[in-house]
Copies of this chain bind each other. A is one copy, B any other.
Amino acid sequence: MQTDTILLAQLNPIVGDIEYNYNKAVDYLNCAKAQGIKFVVYPELFLLGYPPIDLIERYPLIVEENIIYLEKFAKQCVGTSALIGFCEFNKSDRGKKYYNSVAFIQDGVIKKIIRKSLLPVYSEFSEARYFEAAPFVSSQRIVEFNDCRVGVVICEESWNDDTFFKKPMYSFDPVEILVKEQKPDFIINLSASPTRAKKEQLLNNMLSHCAKKYSTPILYVNQTGSTDCITFCGASRAYGSNGELIARAKSYEEDFFAIVPYKSKKNRIEPLPNGVEKTLNSQKEFTLDYDWDLERTYLTITNAIKDYFEKNGFKRAVLGLSGGLDSSCCAYLLACALGPKNVLGVSMPSKITSAQSKSDAKELANNLGINFFEIPIKDMVDASLSTFNKLFDEIQTKWGDYRYKEPLTFDNIQARSRAMILWGVSNEFSSTIPIATSDKSELYMGYATINGDMSGGFAPVCDVTKTKLFALARWMNNNALIKNAIPEAVLIKPPGAELAINPKTGKPLLAEEALMPYEFLDEVIWRLENLQQKAQEMLKEKFLYEKTHKLSFENKKMWLDKFAKRVQFAQFKWSIMPPGPIVDSRSIVRAEYIQPIASKLKF
């Protein structure tokens, strides 16, 4: 009998699918029982699934159902106790409809209910929309297990230590009160904490700091899996009373993890994605060294793709292969996430497409083992052009003054004909969705075509900048499930949409000619997102690009002005971008960042 052992049930729920979540919980409970384990801990809000966003606002039946299944689950917990997150109705005469709660179940009965007091409302979090913040009562946070007094906190409640954070967000620290008033033998934190660049170090340092500060072991149980834009990396863990890591579960997958936390005994410690343990200091300035974040990026995106497809019942992906970096990386990630036979790459050359691009696309597809076909778009483009020109000449009679001298119409006909083909495939073949291949740098610039390459059901690399995507491509060639898929030619050619000819060079217009060097652009994005730096400050500071290139003040200012102008206009496009995984420390993914379109930005 493992009377002193706790099972961390690191699981992947589906939001709103209570029966599915319940069955997972029971499976793990039964495994625990079979091994004589007496205590199982599940993630925050597990029975409902995190994050519900507004689902529970409109469908309270789901919450009723999660209560019914909680009671059903309680009856199973005979001989083995459990802490499990669920959504509770707020029956008082004030406040929001629900609580984000945890049930402590013992001997088949719900012995205690613990309600979350600190509700995050920032970035990808919106808990106060539907949850009421409960007053913090420390005695309510103690449960008994194996003669230990166990303190229970929920996710955000561990993130407010004013000896760790310079500016804590909330007015009190639940852990501090809990330790001072109740002196628990150890603390359990039930979480649903999404992955982000640099967050692992923060989490690790914070939990370790806290365990040491209070000489109290901490057990942290996280969920795994993805819901739309948000990915949970698992990596549940325990820290001993000296702040030392004594156990860690797998990253990015479900894990059944038995542990004796309060004896500070070393346990199974699973590896993290390569590099994420590096110090925070190494990312205090912009670099092109992305090594520390590439495995995590790869795992985040492939998990996000996998769960987006599985949880929505989609099976196959179709995307255009241009022979360029974005579509090559998307195809790579899809092939690894869904299996090559479920991916269809279509090369759709126009008269601007080079022979090299066509052969690069084909070679990539062959290397990945995905389905591949080539279909020229000439007939569609010609039919559109002749239809357009007839109409435009008529419109000209009324709106002649407004006709552009150098319109982007032809460029975009190509991008839109391609998207039309992909959506056609989606209409013709079951459970198949098109993929939007835009990357973060291009999205910032609004350098993507609405109903063209911006269009699709999911956008895998929408939170990866171009310079990082190059690094990811090389990393995948060496480390992904399938090796060496992206041809070297793709990695060395300068990015370009191949939608227009540059009159100055007579060759297809390159993205950096139309925009600015990606190395410079990506640093602007990095400074804006991470430091909220102003253009005035950026003008004063030396960019990485300036270490290897001569750049005049006027030119730098011109690029920054162009950046501001293009980002302003891009809001219009961001508002109709499909969802994609949040990867970076900050993003423009809809689940995190929404700016009014009819607003004026200034930086």
Contact = CB atoms under 8 A, between A and B. Distances in A.
8 smallest A-B Cβ distances: which pairs? A383-B383, A311-B598, A15-B599, A17-B600, A16-B600, A409-B427, A379-B383, A16-B599
Nearest to A375: B391
A135 to B, nearest CB: 9
Interface string A97-128: 00000000000000000000000011000101
Contacts of A166: 93
A595 B20 CA distance: 19
Contacts of A122: 96, 129-130
A59 B451 contact: no
Nearest to A399: B429
Interface in A493-544: 528-529, 532, 534
A57 B391 contact: no
A307 interface: yes
A371 interface: yes
Contacts of A126: 121, 126
A392 interface: yes
Given A167-B94, A420-B416, A602 B391 contact: no
Most buried by B among A308, A380, A413, A596: A596
Given A52-B596, A95-B167, A417-B420, 16 more contacts: A15-B596, A49-B599, A57-B532, A62-B602, A94-B162, A94-B169, A122-B129, A312-B572, A344-B398, A384-B424, A395-B428, A395-B429, A412-B424, A413-B424, A575-B578, A575-B590
Interface in A570-596: 572, 575-579, 590, 593-596
Interface of A: 14-17, 20, 49, 51-55, 57-62, 65, 93-96, 121-122, 126, 128-130, 162, 166-171, 226-228, 307-308, 311-312, 315-316, 341, 344, 346, 371, 373, 375, 377, 379-380, 382-384, 386-388, 390-392, 394-395, 398-399, 402-404, 407-409, 412-413, 416-417, 419-421, 423-425, 427-432, 450-451, 455, 457, 528-529, 532, 534, 572, 575-579, 590, 593-603
A407 B428 contact: yes
Interface secondary structure of A, over-half rule: mixed
Instruction: Report how many copies the assembly holds.
Output: 2
A54 B597 CA distance: 11
Contacts of A375: 387, 390-391, 394
A451 B457 CA distance: 11
Given A167-B94, A404-B430, A601 B534 contact: no
A65 B404 contact: no
A72 B64 CA distance: 55
A122 B371 CA distance: 46
Most buried by B among A59, A126, A228: A59
Contacts of A412: 423-424, 427
Contact of A430 (B15, B402, B423, B532): B402
Nearest to A454: B576
A59 B563 CA distance: 14
A228 B597 contact: yes
Given A402-B429, A429-B399, A388 B578 contact: no
A235 to B, nearest CB: 21
A373 B390 CA distance: 10
Contacts of A409: 424, 427-428
A395 B425 CA distance: 9
A430 B569 CA distance: 14
A594 B130 CA distance: 12
Given A429-B395, A532-B59, A598 B167 contact: no
Given A371-B398, A598-B14, A403 B428 contact: yes
A420 B420 contact: yes
Contact of A451 (B129, B413, B451, B601): B451
29 contacts: A15-B598, A49-B599, A58-B528, A58-B593, A58-B601, A59-B602, A59-B603, A62-B601, A65-B602, A93-B167, A94-B167, A228-B597, A311-B598, A315-B402, A379-B383, A379-B387, A380-B387, A384-B417, A384-B420, A391-B424, A391-B425, A392-B428, A395-B425, A402-B430, A402-B431, A403-B430, A416-B423, A416-B451, A575-B578
